[in-house]
A and B are shown apart, each in its own frame.
Chain A
Amino acid sequence: MKKTKISALFEKLRAEGKKAFIPYIMAGDPNPDETLNYTLLLERCGADIIELGVPFSDPLADGPTIQKAAGRALKSGTTLTKVLALVKEIRQHTAIPLILMTYYNPVFKYGEARFIQDSVEAGVDGVIIPDLPPEEAKEFIKLSHRSISGRQLDTVFLVAPTSTQSRIKKITAASSGFVYYVSMTGITGSKLELDEKVRGHLNLVRQTTDKPIAVGFGIATPEQARTVAQLADGVIVGSAIVKVFNESPEKAEHFIRGLREAIS
């Protein structure tokens, strides 16, 4: 597979001894225009990759903050089709790597092949589907890694602290761009506890793959981001950013810059 924008980014950061800052926002929360503004703000604040959430009625991996964000986005009429249109719009303004985080049913309903084709054409660089295990994703991976006009989609799968050695192998082999390490057994926005056990497990993943590893779930403060940046190649922050945009958007820029500075 050809080097993707995301792989190239991690290679560059690694050479410079830097870590990736990967913020998440929910597309269409509170509306598509604001999502465009937020995306550009995140880029100005130093984001390396942006994760765009696709709202779904039953977001199983998400805590209350992102569940509510999905509810607001659905209310504003956001669908997968509209998210892809939004990506096209974002691409008029920035080339920053974009990853869609979506549940599987909207993709299934849209059609896997059509989703991959339209995503690549819209300018999406990668996809995270938390309820699609690698065993069920063989066709999806094959189609995603096939070149469409010289571009392809990175497939990011999730390793949990309970993943066994053999599953870590499977998950990291299926992943491209980077591997998503879930910091805890839990849902997004839960309280972070990076104990020795998790650190040891993360090391096990390191020994299994040389692909970049980004850690997400529960990272809410610059201090936590700093700690995680010392262990991983990238730091994913979702709920805390979704929350600040929703509750006090005037404080968002300061908060996001604080996270960025912590992840050096």
Chain B
Amino acid sequence: MKREDLAHTGAHKINNALGQALLAKRMGKTRLIAETGAGQHGVATATGAALVGLECEIYMGTIDVQRQALNVFRMKLLGAKVREVDIGSKTLKDAINEALRDWTTNVRNTHYVLGTVFGPHPFPMMVRDFQAIIGKEAASQIMKAEGRMPDCLIACVGGGSNAIGLFNEFLDTGIRMIGVEAGGTGIESGAHAARFAGGSKGVLQGCKTYLLQDADGNVLDTHSVSAGLDYASVGPQHAHLMESGRVQYTNATDEEALAAFKMLSFAEGIIPALESAHAVAEAIKRAPEMPQDNIIIVNLSGRGDKDVQQVAKIKGINLCE
């Protein structure tokens, strides 16, 4: 496990948010805005803003506000305003739209801290560079622990920042890499966020990539149990890595992710974020078919505390009584 869940604020998102907060300060901006799905990037940006002394507003879909209530409260504690986005699919995609509209309006004093390897240039490259520390650390840590490079890397892919962060260091090697998208209730059901399995090429929010869209180019609604993967599009570099064949993309269903969430908690004492649980699910599928001495690195992109309430709700348990 590459333990990004142990990073401050509980996920890899802080790597990028802090970098961009410093950049914004350097550029003389007084205000940060960001979108968030699971709330992790929102919390990270609010943290960065608090640290360097900038105003902060976070856009979040109303559906995500409901399922990530804990992170909403954390953002407010950190001094950020949380703007609920009640249009379109009411999830991450629409939060990005609203953040871009805000940025268009307030560009003179505001920096938009985009949270993933997505959007207009230079965001996909800049966010990759801030997240590349994940792969660098993974390489040195595995050398220290095992004395050799891993055989396989697995990461979940929403926008794709934790995956690019891990993969970037190893792109020039022959090491196998697997990106796991949100399979929702299954590709056939149509209720998923697997852009490579169910999407086609398109242009959205400033970049050309794979997209879940209808025949007329309108973006489709998505579904995933994890808010951070519930997104109709994917970072353009992932589209490139898919087409070149360098990275293999697959998906895990809600059910598989929930099972992995439970198994990792029980077996290792680590409660993973539901997003990261998709990567864990893929490792659970693959490990039995690999030689005993092979090494898989799973990017544990975030911790699952934020998801405990949601998982309890899915299981029909009321935590308030």
Name A's B-contacting residues (CB within 8 A): 56-58, 60-61, 63-64, 67, 74, 79-81, 104-110, 131, 162, 184-187, 190
Contacts and interface: CB of A to CB of B under 8 A. Distances in A.
Nearest to A62: B101
Nearest to A105: B217
B100 A60 contact: yes
B104 A106 contact: no
11 contacts: A57-B88, A58-B93, A60-B97, A63-B101, A80-B217, A107-B217, A108-B203, A109-B215, A185-B105, A185-B106, A186-B104
Given A105-B213, A109-B202, A56 B107 contact: no
B216 A186 contact: no
A106 B106 contact: no
A57 B94 CA distance: 10
Q: Which of B106, B206, B217, B219 has its CB near the most chain A CB atoms (within 10 A)? A: B217
Nearest to A109: B217
Interface of B: 87-88, 93-94, 97, 100-101, 104-108, 201-206, 208, 211, 213, 215-219
B105 A190 contact: yes
A106 B205 CA distance: 13
Instruction: Return the 5 tightest CB-CB contacts between A and B, nearest first.
Output: A109-B217, A106-B217, A57-B218, A79-B216, A186-B105
A187 B104 contact: yes
Contacts of B105: 184-187, 190
Contacts of B87: 64, 67
A109 B100 CA distance: 23
Contacts, number: 68
Nearest to A186: B105
B140 to A, nearest CB: 39
Contact of B107 (A67, A81, A162, A187): A162
B217 A58 contact: no
Nearest to A110: B217
Contacts of B108: 162, 185
A81 B216 contact: yes
Contacts of B205: 58, 60
A131 B206 contact: yes
A61 B201 CA distance: 22
B203 A105 contact: yes
Given A80-B216, A108-B217, A109-B217, A58 B204 contact: yes
Contacts of A106: 216-218
A138 to B, nearest CB: 15
Contacts of A187: 101, 104-105
Given A58-B204, A108-B201, 15 more contacts: A56-B217, A57-B88, A57-B218, A58-B97, A58-B219, A60-B97, A60-B205, A108-B202, A108-B203, A109-B202, A185-B105, A185-B108, A186-B105, A187-B105, A190-B105
A109 B104 contact: no
A151 to B, nearest CB: 25
A68 to B, nearest CB: 9
A172 B217 CA distance: 28
A105 B101 contact: no
B218 A56 contact: yes
B101 A58 contact: no
Given A58-B97, A108-B203, A185 B104 contact: yes
A102 to B, nearest CB: 9
Contacts of B219: 57-58, 105
A60 B101 contact: yes
Contacts of A110: 216-217
A105 B215 contact: no
Nearest to B216: A79
Q: Which of B94, B100, B106 has its CB near the most chain A CB atoms (within 10 A)? A: B100
Contacts of B215: 109
A79 B213 CA distance: 13
Contacts of A58: 88, 93-94, 97, 204-205, 219
A71 B208 CA distance: 24
A164 to B, nearest CB: 13
B263 to A, nearest CB: 37
Nearest to A81: B216
A81 B215 CA distance: 11
Q: Which of A61, A74, A104, A108 has its CB near the most chain B CB atoms (within 10 A)? A: A108
A64 B87 CA distance: 9
Contacts of B216: 79-81, 106, 109-110
Contacts of A105: 202-204, 211, 213, 217-219
A109 B213 CA distance: 9
Contacts of A64: 87
Contacts of B106: 185
A110 B208 CA distance: 15
Nearest to A188: B101
A185 B202 CA distance: 27
Contacts of A74: 218
Contacts of A104: 203
Contacts of B217: 56, 80, 105-110
A64 B94 CA distance: 13
Q: Which of A56, A58, A63 has its CB near the most chain B CB atoms (within 10 A)? A: A58
A58 B97 CA distance: 7
Contacts of B208: 108
Nearest to B94: A58
Contacts of B93: 58
